[in-house]
Structure 1
Amino acid sequence: MNNEIQIAPCNPNAINEVKNVLRYLSGLSGKGILTGQHTQTTVQKELHYIEDITGKLPALCGFELLAYSPNINYSDAGEDCLIEVEENKNTLDNAWDWALNKRGLITFTWHWFSPFGSRDKGFYAENTTFDASQAVIAGTEEHTRLIADMDHMAQLLKPFCEQRIPVLWRPFHEAEGDWFWWGVKGPEVARQLYRIMYERYTNYHGLNNLIWVWNSPLAEGYVGDDVCDVISMDLYPPKHTHTDLESEYSRLVKITPANKLTALGEIGVIPSIPMLAETRVPWLWYMTWSNEYGSSEEWTTNEELRGAYNHPYAVTLDKLPKLY
């Protein structure tokens, strides 16, 4: 493996703010870890909980874009789905507040209701007839509708680019699994979907503020060093099991010989910050998932959370330098 961390943006036209973030992350690697928390609603109960327990806020906040999917089938959706969509509406307002007023780092997750053929929670493969293997073929209806949905989301992302706000963009997350429509047809199809989006967003829409995060630990279907800045994986260890996740890191970095920046895209329990401070496994951030994962003691005790956020190795919002 090349020991020099690759920090040049995969997008040659990336704005300076993207370069600032990548440079900062490179310097942080093995010396600290960004605290992170996913939120799904405008209430953001997870942030209130963390601040109440620790007196601090995470350096990195995640925002969910599912309600911005243009093809939600409201007429064939259960109560849980409708509630989830309703509570998620206007989360971009929170993202703007986080970026402009708190100056924290942003990541987006898009549980993408399929471009057509969906019912209920249509981001799940079992709830849609949409065929991702057809969507990667130019000229098909699936491809046309895929691009239309991508373009819809690009318009929502464009103002962040215009304001020069860097965004950690993690599309087609958990591509190794068969639970989402973009993964059910196999890792090669997921790879092609990602590369189609990269081409569309970079060369057509000019979204030069995106930091591209690939989210799968499989070597099969890896998108390629030329289209990603960070490699990541999602993990859900048993409750109250806090480690440095060294074996998982070793698995992830095997997907490419390049020395890429590495991150935990989602995790149920926070990693052990004291252990990471000792072993220096170079996870650059962790993102606790939302709801009970990030707003209760069901997975991480208040004592563990308080200790993590106040550990010298942890980077919280107040420790984050101005990067944009």
Structure 2
Amino acid sequence: MKLTRSYSIVVTAIMAMLLHTAKAQQNTLLPCDKDATTQTKALYQNLRTLATKGYLFGHQDDLAYGVNWRYEKDRSDVKEVCGDYPAVYGWDLGGLERDGNDKNIDGVPFKKMKEFIKEGYQRGGVITLSWHFDNPLTGKGAWDTAHGTVASILPGGANHALFKTWLDKAANFILSLKGDNKELIPVLFRPFHELTGTWFWWGTNNCVADQFKVLWRFTVYYLKEVKKCHNLLYVYNTGGDFKTKEEFLERYPGDDMVDIISFDSYQWGDPSKDDGFPQNVNNLLNILDSAAVETNKLTAIAETGFEAIPYAAWWTAVLQKAIGKHNLSYILLWRNHGYNEWMKKMHYYVPYKGQVSEKDFVKFYNDDRTLFEKEAAKENLYQQH
């Protein structure tokens, strides 16, 4: 009888331990790169935990320039309006593939970009990189949609070797991003962004789904296994044009090659007359949530905004309404270029001092669910908890 009772106690203890282990494993989200650095793994896990509290706010090129200023130390249009930096800093590698080129397509010197990336990281912010790379078939820009481009850079293609040299340059840049302790800075890497659109050479009009999947899988394989870039979290990013989960995932390359799923969506109409943007984004987020359950990935709105923000209450009455109660890792607003000579108009997506939506942006900042850099820093996103 004593033996049976002891046996029962041991079995109960073992079952409890196994249940605890199973729950711990279920709550642990690992990057698709099994060799990811400690800081990268911690960031990924902490982003999931943080999404239940709110979403990180990001801004493209925030530290490099703003409306009516360029390269002034510690400046940020976001900070000047709300007193805090964004929690996510977006940068772009476009132009890095060109031999001897020292600036990206927006004129930001790559040397300064590295400094800005380290600065944001050291304060506790998160870094994301996109890449508007040139068309490898024609040598023209990312918007050149010459047919056959993707096929030409797949293994066995005429430009495959060239494409690998471009990935080499990207890897060298990524591996040069280090903190004060020489640790690699984790990066949310968003290649082939807006992949369901027709305006880039990697879009739906230039390759079938299987070709795109091979392109993505080769890119991740090369950066991860050949170049040993173990500080990357990979962001699958579509346009905001999908209607179903199946359509969103049509070009999805596999759970083993993606960490975050996302889409881009911008306000175009007049929000005082048209409620289409918040309704559409909310529908897209419903689909994204469903896809996240299926793939077990984090979610984000990787680009959004309303050019020149002419609607004073856009932040709280439109953007927050669009996001609703959805749990996102982050949202990123596009850049504050200022007056664009080519487009002959103002081109910016967050307010600056005196801009019409400034006061509403402060209300947006003070909302419990919007997380800027001070709050991100408190979370110690690069430490295991």
**CA distance, structure 2, for counterparts of residue 322 and residue 220 of structure 1:** 36
2:348 alignment partner, one of 287, 293, 312: 293
1:123 to 116, 136, 142: 142
- Residue identity (%): 24
Closer/same/farther in 2, CA of residues 309 and 197 from structure 1, 3 Å limit? same
The amino acid of 1:110's aligned partner reads: W
Q: Using the alignment, how far apart are the partners of 1:110 and 1:5 within structure 2? A: 32
Where 2:300 maps in the other structure, the secondary structure is strand
The residue type paired with residue 144 of structure 2 is A
Question: Of residues 194, 211, 215 in structure 2, which corresponds to 1:174?
Answer: 194
1:55 aligns with 2:120: no
Paired positions, count: 307
2:83 aligned partner, one-letter code? G
CA distance in 2, matches of 1:190, 1:145: 18
How far did residue 246 of structure 1 move? 2.4
TM-score normalised to structure 2 length: 0.71
2:266 equivalent to 1:236: yes
Q: 8 Å contact 1:212–1:227 — kept in the other structure?
A: yes
Q: Cα deviation per residue 1:99-119 (whole Å; 9 max; x = unaligned)?
A: 23x231100111111235223
Q: Which runs of 5+ in 1 are unaligned?
A: 75-82
Report if the CA contact (8 A) 1:6-1:259 is conserved: no
State yes or no: 1:322 paired with 2:380.
yes
The residue correspondences of 1:1-324 to structure 2 (distance < 5 A) are: 7-39=29-61, 42-44=64-66, 48-70=76-98, 85=105, 87-90=107-110, 91-100=113-122, 102-119=123-140, 122-126=141-145, 131-136=149-154, 138-160=155-177, 163-183=183-203, 184-186=205-207, 187-216=209-238, 218-238=248-268, 243=278, 245-255=281-291, 257-269=294-306, 272=316, 275=321, 279-291=324-336, 292-296=347-351, 301-320=357-376, 321-324=379-382
SS in structure 2 at match of 1:211: strand
Which residue in the other structure is 2:21 paired with? none
Distance in structure 2 (CA, Å) of the matches to 1:151 and 1:289 = 27
For the residues of structure 1 that align with 2:333 and 2:327, how far apart are their CA atoms? 17
What amino acid sits opposite 1:106 in the alignment? I
> Normalising by the residue count of structure 1, what TM-score does the alignment of the two structures yield?
0.83
Greater CA drift, 46-55 or 6-15: 46-55
Letter in 2 for 1:180: F
What is residue 77 of structure 1 aligned with on the other side? none
Per-residue displacement from partner, 1:258-279 (whole Å, max 9, x unpaired)?
23210001001476575589x5
Runs of 4+ in 1 over 3 A off after TM superposition: 44-47, 83-86, 238-245, 253-256, 269-277
Shift of 1:191: 2.3
Mapped partners of 1:59, 1:319: distance in 2: 8
8 Å CA contact retained: 2:351, 2:361: no
Larger Rg: 2
Q: What secondary structure sits across from 1:35 in the alignment?
A: strand
Are the aligned partners of 2:137 and 2:149 in contact in 1 as well (CA < 8 Å)?
Answer: no
Q: CA deviation at 1:171?
A: 0.7
Q: RMSD of the TM alignment (CA)?
A: 3.1
Distance in 1 (CA, whole Å) between partners of 2:52 and 2:278 is 15
CA contact (8 A) 1:61 1:104 kept: yes
Contact 2:136–2:149 (CA<8 Å) still a contact in 1? no
Query: How far did 1:68 drift?
Result: 1.6
Q: SS where residue 212 of structure 1 aligns?
A: strand
Corresponding residue for residue 19 of structure 2: none
- Structure 1 residue 152: deviation in Å? 1.3
How far apart in 1 are the matches of 2:325 and 2:148?
43
Q: Structure 2: 5+ residue runs without aligned partners?
A: 1-25, 70-74, 243-247, 307-313, 337-346
